[in-house]
Amino acid sequence: MYNMEKFVKAFRLPKALKPRRRTIVQQRSCRKPLAFVRAITAAGIFYDAVREWTGPGKSFNMIVMDISFFDLDFSGGAGRYAALPLVFGHAPPDAVHGVITSAAAGSMHHTKGKPGPAREAMLHSLGAVYGFDPARTFALTQIHSRDIRAVDRAAPNTGEAADGMITIDRAVTLTVTVADCLPVFLYDTQSGARALLHSGWRGTGIVLRALEMMAAAWGTRPEAAAALLGPCIQPCCYAVDEERARNFEAEFGGDSPLGPVTVRRDGSRPAISLQAANARLLAAAGVRHCSVCRNCTFTDTRLGSFRREGAESYTKMMAIFPAPAN
């Protein structure tokens, strides 16, 4: 048995958003450190990401990554939307947040930046709740790439082909659509710059491009950035072919704060974890604060899912990133 009192310190947060957050404050030598980390990960506890290990009973180096797990709560949005908390430092858990719409809200499609009826109605409703102008809400024609556009209030909102946006303009609200793919939110806690990304298996790695562009434009440092990994299809339901699994593991595999990037159970087809891959990239880049949604779009019928609903009738959910209120 490991001495949990020695290694773990709990942080109490307000119950409104219910993130589960823990930190390992000291672990310089441990007989089985990787087993320890995996054990507390399985329990849903936050931990410091292990990057290098010199062997059993010896010291190993760590990157501290503060991970807060949370579950979606649609009760505050009449079943149509839920807030996603970006938790970092001593900031209140609702100080900076994203939003995700549900399947009940309808499909949030748009054409060249022009919203469909359900999307337009939702943007006006959310604008009233979160204080943003629907007319300054930007959208993209998503192409499963690592391409990113920088936008501000003067930029044309014509639905350019890309899968991410960055901005420092507080008047601008960013959106992407998802239905199994992963929405990724990045927030610079010093400059207020934001990024919102659509990261499927083809586009994994877009987080690094976003950090590079934010650093070049506004001096964003990864250690000052907070990340949020929203709802997506989880590895329990994301079986892929052998070639895709091998390629994904080769490019993004290794120690991740969220466990294996590729998973195989009982001789079944391999599965991949979009969240684990992105968490590994963020941790390696130096990001220290990450909020992680535990809901699976395939098993949670409140959410849209390409795999569950089918190509002809799946629900496009909208991820929204407004500027913080203060």
Burial class (CB in 10 A: 0-12, 13-18, 19+), 312: exposed
The pLDDT-based confidence of 305 (bands split at 50, 70, 90) is very high
Q: What is the mean pLDDT of residues 234-259?
A: 94
* Extended beta strands in the chain, E state: 8-10, 20-24, 49-50, 62-63, 66-70, 81-85, 97-101, 110-111, 114-115, 137-138, 149-150, 164-167, 173-178, 182-188, 194-199, 225-229, 262-263, 271-272, 289-293, 317-321
What are the angstrom distances between the C-alpha of 184 and each of 5, 198, 217? 33, 7, 19
Structure tokens at 290: 């990450």
What's the pLDDT tens digit per position in 78-124? 899 999 999 888 777 678 999 999 999 999 988 876 778 899 999 99
The pLDDT-based confidence of 68 (bands split at 50, 70, 90) is very high
Question: How many CB atoms sit inside 10 A of residue 173's CB?
Answer: 27
SS3 assignment, position 311: coil
In a domain, 303, yes or no: yes
Q: What is the mean pLDDT of residues 252-276?
A: 91
The amino acid present at 147, given as its one-letter code, is D
What's the pLDDT tens digit per position in 27-64? 333 344 445 444 444 444 434 444 344 444 444 445 56
SS3 assignment, position 48: coil
Same domain for 187 and 58, yes or no, is no
pLDDT for position 1:
35
In this predicted structure, the answer to whether residue 222 has a pLDDT above a threshold of 70 is yes
Same domain for 230 and 122, yes or no, is yes
| Nearest one of 259, 296, 188, 282 to 41, comparing CA atoms | 259
Structure tokens at 117: 């009826």
H helix intervals, 83-173: 117-130
In a domain, 326, yes or no: no
Same domain for 197 and 140, yes or no, is yes
pLDDT for position 267:
75
pLDDT for position 13:
30
Same domain for 83 and 229, yes or no, is yes
Task: Enumerate the β-bridge partners of residue 98.
Answer: 84
pLDDT for position 265:
78
| pTM listed for this prediction | 0.83
Same domain for 262 and 161, yes or no, is yes
**Number of structural domains found in the chain:** 2
Domain assignment of residue 36, given as a range = 1-64
SS3 assignment, position 22: strand
pLDDT for position 63:
53
How high is the mean pLDDT of the chain? 84
What's the pLDDT tens digit per position in 180-201? 999 999 999 999 999 999 999 9
The pLDDT-based confidence of 272 (bands split at 50, 70, 90) is very high
Percent of the chain predicted with pLDDT > 90: 69
In a domain, 260, yes or no: yes
Same domain for 56 and 201, yes or no, is no
Same domain for 3 and 78, yes or no, is no
Looking at residue 232, the DSSP 8-state letter turns out to be B
Looking at residue 323, the DSSP 8-state letter turns out to be P
